[in-house]
Structure formats: structure tokens, C-alpha cells
Amino acid sequence: MTVDGEAPKPTKPRLDRLPPHAVPEQHPESRPSMSDRLALAHAIEEAGIERAKAEAVATAIARFVEGSAATKADVDHVEAALKADIARLDAKIGLLDAKVDQIGQRTFNRLGTLMVVVVTLLFGALHLWPPH
């Protein structure tokens, strides 16, 4: 409601043009083809909208989709990048496993050495201890 008590008049959005920042640059093969736009315009026209407006709506939809839809090439590129990342992480996990094994082995050896020293000192102390 406006100040006068009247309902605001609906404004018609301009669908024939999107701002340049709303349409990101894409690879040429990822853009919708002209036949896709024409088919969409024809479908909109069949729904009862005049041809010029139907083409404007179809163009706006095609521009919106071209900025947000992924192509098979996009998916393949992401898949290859993910596979490379997984392979790199697997290699790092392998190195970490080797380091953990090495630390465990080193700790075991040090504890074994400490036990030998403690037992040697204990037997030495018992040997030198005079009986009463």
C-alpha cells in the first residue's frame, strides 16, 4: 500500500537485457545454442506471450543459464582436478604412515634400551649391596 492507500502498480521487469556483470564469461562451447533459444521462445509464445516478448524472455533465460549451468567439459575438468588432488593426498598419507611407523619403531627401541639400562643398574645395585 502506498501513502494514498492505493496498491502499488506492478512494474514490468526488462527481460531483454541483463547487466554485463550478471553474465560471467564462459567457454564458447558451454553457451546455449541459437536453436535452444528459439525453441524456448517458441514454447513461451505457445503459452500466450507475444513473439517479441517471448524472445526477450528466452534470451534472458539463456543468459542466466549460461552463467550458472555446468557443461560436460566443466564436470570433466573438475573431476580431473579432484582425481589429481586425491592422488596427491594419498601420497601424503603414505608418507605420514611411514613416519608414524618410524616413530613407533624408534620409541620401541628407546624403551627397550631404557629397560636394559634399568635392569643392569638394578642387578648392579643388588650385586654391590651388602647382605645383612
57-96 per-position pLDDT tens digit? 888 887 777 777 778 898 999 999 999 999 999 999 999 9
Tell me how many degrees the CA angle 37-21-28 measures, rounded to the nearest 5: 45
Q: Which residue type does 90 have?
A: D
d(CA 16, CA 59): 7
- Return the closest-CA partner of residue 39 out of 62, 17, 18: 62
**Is residue 23 within 8 Å of residue 66, measured between CB atoms?**
yes
Residue 126's pLDDT band, with cuts at 50, 70 and 90, is confident
Instruction: Quote the percentage of the chain above a pLDDT of 90.
Output: 37
| Mean residue pLDDT across the chain | 78
The Cα 32–Cα 53 span in angstroms is 19
pLDDT at 102: 96
Residue 30 has pLDDT above 80, yes or no: no
Give the C-alpha separation, 25 to 97, whole Å.
44
| pLDDT value of position 5 | 60
Residue 34: pLDDT band (50, 70, 90) is low
